[in-house]
Structure 1
Amino acid sequence: MTFSIAARCAESGQLGIAISSSSIAVGARCPWLLPGIGAVSSQNITLPVLGPKILGELEKGMTPDAALESVLSSHGFSEYRQVTVIDSHGATAVFSGAKSLGTYHAVQGEECVAAGNMLADKAVINAMVQVFEQTAGPLAERLVAALQAGVARGGEAGPVHSAAVKVVGDHPWPIVDLRVDWAVSDPIGELAGLWQAYQPQMQDYITRAIDPRQAPGYGVPGDE
């Protein structure tokens, strides 16, 4: 039902996740990020609590492998879970339970980890990692490019309907948090369009938050 990639930008230290699913609003349940700590995607038969719990263990100093094992062992039904983890150093971990749905696969790459289930082909995940590693530019752009590569390689066995990309950096809030909660077709294309619209404004929104005196005007009523 889902394929995703979690990654770190070696230059900026930003962490991010891009994800798509046949289910509605995948961005509301699966990606979890904590600035300066890590990123976790909890998918397949999703247990959302795994994300914040694993991030909490990373914050205590655990490695991704140890944090993943610790949290999974303290919750039931791990055989139904698929989870990816990346920490602030780029170390990764991944788990795919024996009851992950359909064709499932996971790949740990350079500063990234990708996984999916109900896949058209295992090569979907390989393509995502390859494109992420070969793409230049902002982390969000590389993540969306990886999603596009995955769907171009076949994506899920059936149509996808939702997609999201989330990135954290130096601030306590996400600097990118874009979602397509439902689209009859091509949510990844819609997500790519959202990113292209948001990218030129991203730094302005950070500036507005930190120092409103430096905020650029947008020409709306009351905005001088």
Structure 2
Amino acid sequence: MNIDLTHKGTMLSVLARDPRDRTLGIALASSSIAIGARCPHLETERAAIASQGFTNLKVGPLALDLVRCGLTAAEVLEALRQHDRWLEYRQIGILTADGQIGAHTGKEATGWAGHRIDDDLVCLGNGLSAGAAALDAVAEGFKGSSPGLPLADRLLTGLENSKRLLGESFPITSASLLVRSPGAESQIDLRIDVPNRPVEDGGNALADLRRLYAEYLPLVDIYAARSVAPRAF
């Protein structure tokens, strides 16, 4: 695969919280390669954080440290402004386990860039041909899915809804899904770094991620039980 490092790309991310059990999750889709290694950061009972745009790899871990120290989401964003001289090139989303939200879209972010905030939900995007409508589609897909579904399903549905709107203007090269629940032994941490099926579905890493999630979901409880009672297996 030839990688064009001058390509500024397109990216969508959605962070959400289930207020019933404080489950936190992040799903991302990008035209850039291997996005799951750089942009999502999540700690159970603390916060979910997305750092995107011209990503600073230090921002996510630093933001989690600041949450651990007791700073609010707004205070974390202010601290990041003091820490990162290039923050106007970046996007940051913060959703804490107790429902605090912070979001930043720098004025130098790529193409059309913005964020949308709802209760227990943050959507971020840059390089979007459809502008704010792409973020609205993420939120509508997430909120329109059954509340009884796992948070991971709803996150993927949100991104898939926006992909249908954006079509070929949003080639998805990589995608990731990170979901963690308090007290759970096994967590969801899945990623697609490059598309697996360029012929069958046009090289859509989000479609690959949905298939991977469908195969992994039935195994989550088995892996959790096996980790604490290996003799039973």
Q: Normalising by structure 2, what TM-score?
A: 0.87
**Could you tell me which residue of structure 1 aligns to residue 135 of structure 2?**
125
Q: What is the CA–CA distance in structure 1 between the aligned matches of 2:114 and 2:169, rounded to whole Å? A: 13
8 Å contact from structure 1 (residues 120, 155) kept in 2: no
Taking the TM superposition and a 5 Å limit, the aligned residue runs for 1:47-86 are 47-86=56-95
* 2:229 aligns with one of 195, 206, 211: 211
Cα gap change, 1:156 to 1:108, in 2 (>3 Å): farther
Q: What is the CA–CA distance in structure 1 between the aligned matches of 2:65 and 2:169, rounded to whole Å? A: 34
**Could you tell me which residue of structure 2 aligns to residue 179 of structure 1?**
191
Q: What is the CA–CA distance in structure 2 between the aligned matches of 1:72 and 1:214, rounded to whole Å? A: 51
Q: What is the CA–CA distance in structure 1 between the aligned matches of 2:177 and 2:220, rounded to whole Å? A: 14
Q: Is it true that 1:189 corresponds to 2:207 in the alignment? A: yes
How far is the alpha carbon of 1:11 from its aligned partner?
2.0
**Could you tell me which residue of structure 1 aligns to residue 52 of structure 2?**
43
8 Å contact from structure 1 (residues 50, 72) kept in 2: no
* 2:15 aligns with one of 2, 6, 9: 6
8 Å contact from structure 2 (residues 27, 177) kept in 1: yes
How far is the alpha carbon of 1:204 from its aligned partner?
1.0
Q: What is the CA–CA distance in structure 1 between the aligned matches of 2:32 and 2:211, rounded to whole Å? A: 20
Q: What is the CA–CA distance in structure 2 between the aligned matches of 1:48 and 1:37, rounded to whole Å? A: 19
Deviant stretches of 4+, over 3 Å: 155-158, 171-174
Cα gap change, 1:201 to 1:172, in 2 (>3 Å): closer
Cα gap change, 1:56 to 1:68, in 2 (>3 Å): same
SS of structure 2 residue aligned to 1:143: helix
Q: Deviations over 1:74-133 (max 9, x none)?
A: 121111110101000122110000100001121001211001000121211111112212
Q: What is the CA–CA distance in structure 2 between the aligned matches of 1:173 and 1:212, rounded to whole Å? A: 13
Q: What is the CA–CA distance in structure 1 between the aligned matches of 2:212 and 2:154, rounded to whole Å? A: 14
Cα gap change, 1:75 to 1:127, in 2 (>3 Å): same
**Could you tell me which residue of structure 1 aligns to residue 116 of structure 2?**
107
8 Å contact from structure 1 (residues 39, 87) kept in 2: yes
Instruction: Calculate the aligned-residue CA RMSD, in Å.
Output: 1.7
SS of structure 1 residue aligned to 2:102: strand
8 Å contact from structure 1 (residues 164, 180) kept in 2: yes
SS of structure 1 residue aligned to 2:166: coil
Q: Which runs of 5+ in 2 are unaligned?
A: 1-9
How far is the alpha carbon of 1:67 from its aligned partner?
0.8
Report how many aligned residue pairs link the two structures.
215
8 Å contact from structure 1 (residues 2, 19) kept in 2: yes
Alignment-mate amino acid for residue 230 of structure 2: P
Q: Which runs of 5+ in 1 are unaligned?
A: 216-224
Q: What is the CA–CA distance in structure 2 between the aligned matches of 1:211 and 1:170, rounded to whole Å? A: 20
Q: Is it true that 1:142 corresponds to 2:154 in the alignment? A: yes
Alignment-mate amino acid for residue 200 of structure 1: P
How far is the alpha carbon of 1:158 from its aligned partner?
4.0
